[in-house]
Amino acid sequence: MVIAVDGPTASGKGTIARGLAKHYGLAHLDTGLLYRAVGMQARMMGIDPDDPLAAVEATGFPDSLLKDPELRGENVGALASRVSVHKRVRAALLERQREFAARPGGAVLDGRDIGTVIAPDADVKLFVTASVEARAQRRHAEMVRRGQDVTLDAIREDLIARDARDRNRAEAPLVEAPDAVTLDNSNLNAAQSLAEAIRIVDDLL
Ligand code: C5P
């Protein structure tokens, strides 16, 4: 079984994908981490993330980078969103994601283009979304918890910019696959979102 989970930044898709993987005993790949690793590698190599030919050099990041805690930070997320617009960068990461999706035991992948590009034949496609306000508040609470000094306004602005970049890019934009089921969790907590996702998957199987 292959489950594709797509959605915008801070929609809770990662938490849902992890929960589904655990529930159904499937392997899980957070594909955002791959783009984050490219962004971080570009920074370490002094590469301009907006230069497509230079950015592709950063796709040769070492696997150890995927375990770096800094990868999850806001700055690296913004860099990831810049390197991920380039066709060559996306092409360089494609095979790795397809191979993961083809694992014999089945897999859950979460990202922006899983149901549309990486695994168009996935058994289940979920499009996880929530209002900008709900996502901004969750992200803000999480950062405050981590002791970071950021305002809700700054977070909201960054989310809107990231959404626009992910939705409007020419290559593999964030768009709901026609055969995806939408899960809007603006008014659900994490446990309720996962329960709803499991209900959707069970219904489709
Ligand atoms: O999901 P996450 O916030 O970790 O992703 C970071 C950035 O990587 C996103 O803003 C998006 O631009 C890019 N990304 C992508 N395709 C994916 C996963 C992430 O373009 N499948």
ipTM: 0.98
Degrees, nearest 5: CA angle 179-181-183: 155
Using an 8 Å Cβ cutoff, are 56 and 92 in contact?
yes
17: which strand partners? Answer: none
CA 105 / ligand 1 centre spacing (Å)? 25
The reported pLDDT for the residue numbered 148 is: 85
Q: Residue 6 CA to chain centroid, in angstroms? A: 7
Rounded to an integer, the average pLDDT of 124-136 is 97
Q: Was 31 annotated as part of a binding site?
A: no
Where does residue 119 rank: exposed (0-12), middle (13-18), buried (19+ CB within 10 A)? buried
Residue nearest ligand 1's atom 20 by CA = 84
**Residue 132 and residue 152: Cα distance in Å, rounded?**
11
Q: What share of the chain has pLDDT > 70, as a percent?
A: 100
**Residue 193 and residue 82: Cα distance in Å, rounded?**
29
Tell me which residue range forms the domain holding 42: 2-204
The reported pLDDT for the residue numbered 194 is: 98
The CATH number of the domain where 150 resides is what?
3.40.50.300
Locus of tokens 């994908």 = 17
Degrees, nearest 5: CA angle 107-169-10: 55
**Residue 148 and residue 183: Cα distance in Å, rounded?**
29
The mean-pLDDT minimum among 72-81, 82-91, 195-204 falls in: 72-81
143 pLDDT more than 90: no
The reported pLDDT for the residue numbered 72 is: 87
Give the up-direction half-sphere exposure of residue 182: CA atoms within 13 A in the CB hemisphere.
Answer: 9
Q: Give one word for 106, left, alpha or beta, with left for phi > 0 and alpha for psi -120 to 50.
A: left
Give the nearest ligand 1 atom to 33 CA: 4
Structural domains of the chain, count: 1
Using an 8 Å Cβ cutoff, are 112 and 166 in contact?
yes
Residue nearest ligand 1's atom 19 by CA = 32
Using an 8 Å Cβ cutoff, are 7 and 31 in contact?
no
Highest mean pLDDT among 88-97, 147-156, 160-169: 88-97
Q: Which residues line ligand 1 (CB under 6 A)?
A: 9, 31-32, 35-36, 77, 80-81, 84, 111-113, 162, 166
